[in-house]
Amino acid sequence: MSAAIPRLSGGIPLLGHLLQLRRDPIELMQRCRDECGEVGELRLAGQSLVMLYGEPAQEAFFRATDEQLDQAAAYPFMKPVFGPGVVFDATPEQRKQALRNRSLRDQALRGHAETIARETERMIAGWGGSGSVDLLAFFAELTIYTSSAALIGPEFREELGPELVPLFADLERGTDPLAYVNANLPIASFRKRDRARQQLVAYLQRIFERREAEERQSKDLFQVLRTIKNPDGSARYDVQTITGMFISLMFAGHHTTSTTSSWALLELLRHPEWMQRVTGEVDALYADGRDISYQALREIPQLENCFKETLRLHPPLILLMRKVAQPFQYKDWTVPVGKNVGVSIAVSNRDPGVFRDAERFDPTRYEPGRDEDQHIFAWVPFGAGRHRCVGAAFAMMQVKAIFSILLRRYEFELAQPPESYREDHSKMVVQLAQPCRVRYRRRAELAS
């Protein structure tokens, strides 16, 4: 006999808890845990979402196979972003193939460190001795260049410019939870999303045409995809589909890495003792004049722990979902086919049963002996199990490379009241709310 799943109070007719999800999703998910316990059900328009809390329930969620829990069907807001035929619109088998992206394999990562360092140097080349910068704008542009250079190819990166930044912003802001009602409602954020996607398709089309006109031999992923043929000799992928693949490759690493970089810098500025420690660590590491390399980036544990702590407190994704494809059993509860199950990254990352003094920024919690991130089904900024972020290692290496340069070249300070830096949770893709400015000053000039 199956036990009844507790239902969260406060849902309204038709929309259920959807408006609360748009207003304050973390409050909603925490309230569900407080009220219902390990398992609790809420409603998002016509969909039912059963939330799972605590390490054992989350482990069951993360270990389930694609045949049991379907990832694609649970994210209606992503379909119009990626477009037809790409990742979240593909079969589990096609997705498995897509996941085997060799550019994220360890062997490839070893060459990416220098690429990222070079792109960071280029971005700050015009900074001068002092000034101020909007963190989100800066990191959003930088990560477009780093991701495209590393994952698609350096030649392709050279064809991209700052005009892509607002297009990605519109795609990201197009992830409104109202997609649970209908992903094509006539609202401004969805219209902007669709227009941005069309502009991206046109942008890539121009790159293709330019390359074909110049008869240039390129070896990057972009060109490889373009030259794959069907048995009958026709091109396997059209520009629409390649644009979708490009968006999915870039999207996953874009808002995530740019918000994480922004928050890491803000947390270091809010905790000057940590800023001092990691600056000292980075200075010491490169004191012998060595280059930024894969190996060097492995040897900055304090900076790495600051990123882990930033990710725990400010996870760029706060809710993971799957659609139940075979009845999902946990303890005495059974979630039937057709409902959704979910894990809240934001709630899990602050679970007081796992993290001592969970609200506090404390990078020492990852030091040997405490190892709080070893709770792999509770410390879940990258998810866990078979769908764990495949770009996690790339992302960690990337932020360490970026900060290895920024912290050695410049000093930073907050340019706004500390409490004015905050997350915007109104979309499923979490972003830092703008403005989010900091001031910078070149370190060499300080010394002289």
Partner 1 sequence: MKIRVDLDLCQGHGVCVEEAPELFALDAATSKVVVLDQNPPESLRKKLAVAVKYCPTRALRIVED
Residues at the interface with partner 1 (CB under 8 A): 63, 99-100, 104-107, 110, 298, 374, 376, 384-386, 388, 390, 392-393
- Rounded CA-CA distance 65/56 in Å is 16
User: Residue 103 or residue 218: which is nearer to partner 1 going by CB?
Assistant: 103
- Rounded CA-CA distance 185/15 in Å is 14
- Rounded CA-CA distance 226/265 in Å is 39
Q: Supply 143's token pair.
A: 């990560």
CB of residue 379 to partner 1, shortest distance in Å = 10
- Rounded CA-CA distance 381/346 in Å is 8
CB of residue 375 to partner 1, shortest distance in Å = 10
Q: From the centroid of its chain, how far is CA 430?
A: 9
CB 6 within 8 A of CB 36: yes
- Rounded CA-CA distance 262/430 in Å is 13
From the list 115, 89, 87, the residue with the least C-alpha distance to 103 is 115
The residue with tokens 């096609």 is 94
Cis peptide before 363 (omega within 30 of 0): no
CB of residue 446 to partner 1, shortest distance in Å = 36
CB 175 within 8 A of CB 197: no
User: Residue 99 or residue 224: which is nearer to partner 1 going by CB?
Assistant: 99
Beta bridge partners of 229: 235
**Angle between helices 301-313 and 239-270 in degrees, nearest 10:** 110
User: Residue 104 or residue 341: which is nearer to partner 1 going by CB?
Assistant: 104
User: Residue 41 or residue 373: which is nearer to partner 1 going by CB?
Assistant: 373
User: Residue 42 or residue 252: which is nearer to partner 1 going by CB?
Assistant: 252
User: Residue 121 or residue 371: which is nearer to partner 1 going by CB?
Assistant: 371
CB of residue 355 to partner 1, shortest distance in Å = 17
Strands 431-432 and 340-344: unpaired
CB of residue 141 to partner 1, shortest distance in Å = 27
CB of residue 390 to partner 1, shortest distance in Å = 6
User: Residue 100 or residue 422: which is nearer to partner 1 going by CB?
Assistant: 100
CB of residue 256 to partner 1, shortest distance in Å = 15
CB of residue 87 to partner 1, shortest distance in Å = 15
Q: What is the DSSP letter of 430?
A: -
User: Residue 5 or residue 69: which is nearer to partner 1 going by CB?
Assistant: 69
User: Residue 68 or residue 175: which is nearer to partner 1 going by CB?
Assistant: 68
- Rounded CA-CA distance 174/429 in Å is 9
87-92 long-range CB contacts below 8 Å, 24 or more apart? 87/244, 87/245, 87/248, 88/248, 92/66, 92/67
CB of residue 96 to partner 1, shortest distance in Å = 8
